[in-house]
Amino acid sequence: MMEGKQTATPAHRLPAVAEALALAAVPATLVALAAAGVRATAGLTLLVALAALAVALAGFEASRPPLRQLMPTAVLAALAAAGRVLFAPLPDVKPVSAVAIVAGAALGRRSGFVVGALAALLSNFFFGQGPWTPWQMYAWGLVGYIGGVLGERGLLAHDAVLYGWGLLSGLVYGLILNGYHVLGYVQPLTWPAALAACVASLPLDVTHGVATVAFLAAIWLPWGRAIRRVVAKYDL
């Protein structure tokens, strides 16, 4: 699959570094707070997640994507959101991660992030908005962003990497949401309590990852061909 084009100029490197630092700050903050035993940090961790979202989305805007790139990004985000709603009866069987990975690989890491983040926001108008929404936006955005990074390096051409990240993405998504829940709401905050929460969600997270692999197997080639035609036609 064709990877999104990246312009390696100093003006583009700085936002990329800022994005990477902002995205890494979220799990780093969760780990640091857990290690320090800080309790009831829902507000603090939410601010960190919102800041990371703001930096990543600002990076996409600062790249000044033309309308011809905005359109496929918006379409993929809408398809991912609609797919999540369509599969609502099946817990954790959602196409959002797969679509975000495809978007990142085809249109670039920033588009991958935007597709994942917008899919969470849009679909939550059906499932319900709440303090979990920014966390879902961040987690699914991160899945698409890393998919873009792997795609830019040509790694997703290898099935082991493609499906490996698809499977792992479900666990990463679950770990981030678990971290938000445990640090923000589990009282008293103890390592056994945190571990119990993660273990309880593990079957759902594995289901999420396996479903992502299945969706990737279904859409990677046909969607890839369609997006490659758009990329080639409009020189994205």
Q: Is the pLDDT of residue 5 over 50?
A: no
Residue 156 DSSP one-character state: G
Mean pLDDT in residue range 42-67: 84
Helices marked H in the chain: 10-36, 42-62, 67-86, 96-107, 109-127, 132-152, 159-185, 191-234
Q: Nearest Cα to 170, choosing from 135, 128, 205, 216?
A: 205
- The DSSP output letter for 191 is H
pLDDT in tens, 55-98: 988 888 887 777 667 888 999 999 999 999 999 999 889 999 99
Domain 10-234 part of CATH 3.40.50: no
Q: What is the mean pLDDT of the chain?
A: 86
Instruction: Provide the CA 157 distance to its chain's centre, in angstroms.
Output: 20
Please give the pLDDT value at position 6. 45
Map out the domains of the chain as residue ranges: 10-234
Do residues 182 and 199 touch, judged by C-beta distance below 8 A?
A: no
Question: Per-residue pLDDT tens for 103-123?
Answer: 999 888 999 999 999 999 999
Answer yes or no: is pLDDT of 41 > 80.
Answer: no
Q: What is d(CA 234, CA 93) in angstroms, rounded to the nearest whole number? A: 33
